[in-house]
A and B are shown apart, each in its own frame.
Chain A
Amino acid sequence: MKDLENGKMSGHSNWPEWVYVGVVIALLCYVGAEAWNIERIIEHVPADAEIIQVTGQQWLWTFEHEDGTKEIGELHLEKGKAYKFEVTSKDVIHSFNIHDYTVLMDAVPGRVNTVWFSPTDAGEFPIQCREYCGMIHYNMRGTLYVQDGV
């Protein structure tokens, strides 16, 4: 009753709420710190990464290797090597995505965004567009072929 007289709405302890909020904040700090640390590590591009220029346009992907070879809708890479994609667009915003390797970067006209990865398994993997770009957005797909190195 003392609490009621002091103007509180009911006579209960506030400790459970403080403890609960404390636990929530601790969990969030853990998630934030872990995410910060991992992002810092995975953004570090290896020095020997081969550069591949990726251009999105309605509605296909063009890839240009360092030696000047161009591919449309298909990308041939070697297992175990590191690749750095320089992603841009000719018309509207697209998003370059190889889901199996968590490669995702927006292709923005007038900008070059970079993202890197290193394929660990040989095989075929779908490439797709993850940002709405118009009529054939649903079928703006390609294939990544990862071959065993020589």
Chain B
Amino acid sequence: MFSTHHTDIGLLYLITSLAFMFMGGALALVLRLELFAPGTQVIADAMTYNRIFTVHGTTLIFLFILPSASAFGNYLVPIMVRYKDMAYPKLNAIAFWMIPPAGALIWLGFADFTWYAYPTYSVISAPGPAADMWIFGLKILGVSSLLGAINFVVTILKCKHPDLPLSKMPLLAWSYLASSLIIIVAIPTFAAALLMLLTDRLGVSGFFNPAMGGDPIAYQHLFWFTFHPEVYVLVIPAIGFMYEIFPRFSRKPIFSHSSGVFAFVLLMLVGFASWAHHMYATGMSFTEKTVFMVGTLAAVPASAMHVFNFLATMWGGRIKFATPIMWAVGGIALFFSAGAGGVVNSAMPLDFITHDSYWVVGHFHLFVMGTILFGTVGFIYYMFPYITGRMYNEMWGKVHFILSFVGTVMVFFTQHLLGLYGMPRRIYDYPPFPEWVQMNIIISIGAFIIGISMAIFLGNLIYSSAKGKPADMDDPFGLGGKYYFPYQAKTPHTENGGYH
């Protein structure tokens, strides 16, 4: 348990992040139960509701998505760059062991100021000590992901085997290089903002408090300067997972390795040009809005290149539709939908219709759930035989996918519509407008379909890891032959991760 070996730490990350995924998801179900109909359903008061959605968001972003990406990064990056371990094994273990105490702070505090923690609410109005515990928890998580990112960058750039040029490095390893560089540039800004938020709360400074000469909008700039690029930190490893899944299950090489690398690097750079598109409604000038609209649109071609690469890889391949590639295909369908919705948000006049409505909730959930969770879950199924030596149950894997896909479409597409009908996000109760009520019922039913599918997932994971059929370690998915030219080895475990 206190091992410093990279696969052990990867496994710790994976188990922890999955535990938090089920916990955060359970909170979402409570929220959906409350919103099933107008009036009080299961949550007695508004403040409890506000605390639940805050912890739901914080948990799934910082305690599920980020650690689950680190899990597979730890597992595979050293193998892919042909090194014996991560560059700093002890640092790696420390970065992991910061997560449980941070998670405990967030869950024991149960703050209410949303995962943005916008001042002046968070400074003058949010009740402590929950808010302060949240700030400390996030501080620890920030340091943890910085340490992890530095470790990945050093492992890839300094410990890479000299025979392996960077241009030939697998795209999954490239995704970790790109996302880690974003973390190193972006996170310190939020770390500073958190510290200022804390001293503001203590009353010794007034950085964000207009009563003391501060500016609450400054916090929003600092926050989004970190967290818009962070969106790419979350999504890039998921795209990397898909780059692993598609060629193997299509029995074809990746259509274009170089365009994948180019798109990662492009995304990494333009990701920093769009942060204030979250803030059109804060009273920005026309020029500011234009600049950030252009910066936002500039991120689209890179994402579109990934989608093209996936489809072109599958084109003409002998595809075996096992569970992992089903999740990946579902993921790109939802990634495309999310991106199309994002273009609508970024267009200035339309943003004033969608801003802070359920449209936005639907939009970003298509990314975090539809793309990132789908890619991650597909990759969990893909890695399952290599990690446990046993096969998961294929039929239940497919049932899990179909239920999740149907549920996701029901929930998040309907939320887009609900936003167009004007329902604000983060509300505990709503007036009984007939359209709002109908759509909320559809969304809640969809959410429970996802809930059922995730219960199946949990059962499949536990049962199969203990009693599943032993996997054929040379070719667990029955793909046969040397199907993934130019990669020589058969599995990511043997011979340098299957790359040369």
Q: State the A residues within 8 Å of B (CB).
A: 9-10, 12, 14, 16-17, 20-21, 24-25, 28, 31-32, 34-36, 38-40, 42-43, 58, 91-93, 95, 97, 99-100, 102, 104-106, 108-111, 113-114, 126, 128-139, 141
Contacts and interface: CB of A to CB of B under 8 A. Distances in A.
Interface of B: 46-47, 50, 112-114, 116, 118-121, 124-126, 210-211, 215-217, 253-259, 281-283, 286, 289-290, 293-294, 297, 300-301, 304-305, 308, 312, 343, 346-350, 352-353, 355-357, 421-422, 424-431, 486
Given A10-B255, A35-B293, A109 B424 contact: no
A39 B349 contact: yes
Contact of B424 (A14, A24, A31, A97): A97
Given A126-B431, A135-B47, A36 B121 contact: no
A10 B485 CA distance: 9
B356 A32 contact: no
A17 B305 contact: yes
Interface residues of A, dominant DSSP: mixed
Given A9-B256, A95-B356, A135-B50, A104 B281 contact: yes
Contact of B348 (A36, A58, A138): A36
Nearest to A138: B427
Nearest to B426: A132
Contacts of A36: 290, 293, 348
Contact of B282 (A58, A106, A134): A106
Contacts of A10: 253, 255
Contact of A93 (B112, B120, B253): B120
Given A102-B353, A105-B281, A110-B216, A133 B121 contact: yes
Contacts of A109: 120, 210-211, 216
Contacts of B426: 132, 137-138
Contacts of B346: 35
Contact of B486 (A9, A91, A128, A138): A9
B355 A28 contact: no
Given A32-B293, A39-B289, A111-B210, 10 more contacts: A21-B305, A39-B286, A58-B125, A104-B353, A108-B283, A109-B211, A113-B282, A131-B356, A138-B430, A139-B429
